[in-house]
Amino acid sequence: MKIHQIFFKNNLRNFCYLITFADGAIYCIDPHRSIEIINYLKDQSLTGIINTHDHCDHYSGNEELVLAYQCPVMAHSEALVPLKNKILQDQEIIYHGKNEGVEWTLKSIYTPGHTLSHICVLLEKNEKPFALFTGDCFFNAGVGNCHNGGDPEVMYQTISTIFKNLPDDLLIYPGHEYLKRNLEFTRNYEPHNLAAQNFLKEISTIDSDEHFFINTMKIEREINTFLRLESSDLCETLSLQNSNEKQVFLTLRELRNRW
């Protein structure tokens, strides 16, 4: 199994992913554009396209890829993506195969909030969570906005139930590259967060258009302020010491909209 990450140098800083299995199956998650994908595939074929949600920066490559490979397009039943012909509900198995003694499963997880028909794609290795492709639900050190068909309260539910329970060693593959901006947000609202400060130092000398970090959930739990709603540092900065976690989350989401 191989995960190939493609970064687009557009204003929105999109990521697209190609997952190749040893039996030749190849899935593309969120094709922002087709040309880079076609160039990568060379003479290989595409098995399927998965759109995490129906924002055009995540599906603009669909039509050209379907034309080139006649592959299915998969998304949530309510997601309005071009050429969708396979519906993914919660826990739907997309791929299952055994390669060299390792069992790989690709499945959709319903994660509403950024839009109400958003899914993440979970890759399991021997029935254990291995990697999560999070679309615009969850980013490195942040979560997605809710401006375009989303709902912050639903986002809170998704993050506080599904993401809170993900294992520490799970690898996170987000739909956009917003690491530095998000770390600065964490540092601003958690001024004593050493992990966020150190990460910012680490990335200060690298070219953020060329080098990308694949964080684990363990790292995210240290630097992603949306997962740290109980932090006294955070609650003090927000003057929300007597509020519940949901109020802290909604306040943070609102502040991040203007950050």
Question: Footprint of Fe ion on this chain (CB under 5 A)?
Answer: 55, 136
Query: Comparing C-alpha atoms, which of 160, 129, 162 is closest to residue 230?
Result: 160
Q: Quick one: 15 or 249, whose CB is closer to Fe ion? A: 15
Closest of 223, 134, 237, 139 to residue 184, by C-alpha: 223
How far is the C-alpha of 15 from the C-alpha of 140, rounded, in Å? Answer: 12
Rounded to the nearest whole angstrom, what is the least distance from the CB of residue 55 to Fe ion in the complex? 3
- What's the min distance (Å) between Cβ of 53 and Fe ion? 6
Q: Among residues 53 and 228, whose Cβ is nearest to Fe ion?
A: 53
Closest residue by beta carbon to Fe ion: 55
Q: By CB neighbour count within 10 A (0-12 exposed, 13-18 middle, 19+ buried), where does 24 fall? A: exposed
Contact 139, 174 (CB under 8 A): yes
**Rounded to the nearest whole angstrom, what is the least distance from the CB of residue 52 to Fe ion in the complex?**
8
Q: Which is nearer to Fe ion, 107 or 114 (CB)?
A: 114
Give ∠ CA 88-1-126 in degrees, rounded to 5: 70
Residue nearer to Fe ion on the CB measure, 32 or 55: 55
* Angle (CA) 5 48 75, round 5°: 90
Q: State which residue, 12 or 195, has the beta carbon closest to Fe ion.
A: 12
The distance of closest approach from Cβ of residue 66 to Fe ion in the complex, given in angstroms and rounded to an integer, is 21
Nearer to Fe ion, 55 or 256 (CB): 55
Least distance between Fe ion and beta carbon 206 (Å): 26
Q: At what angle do helices 245-257 and 179-189 cross, to 10 degrees?
A: 130
The amino acid at 234? L
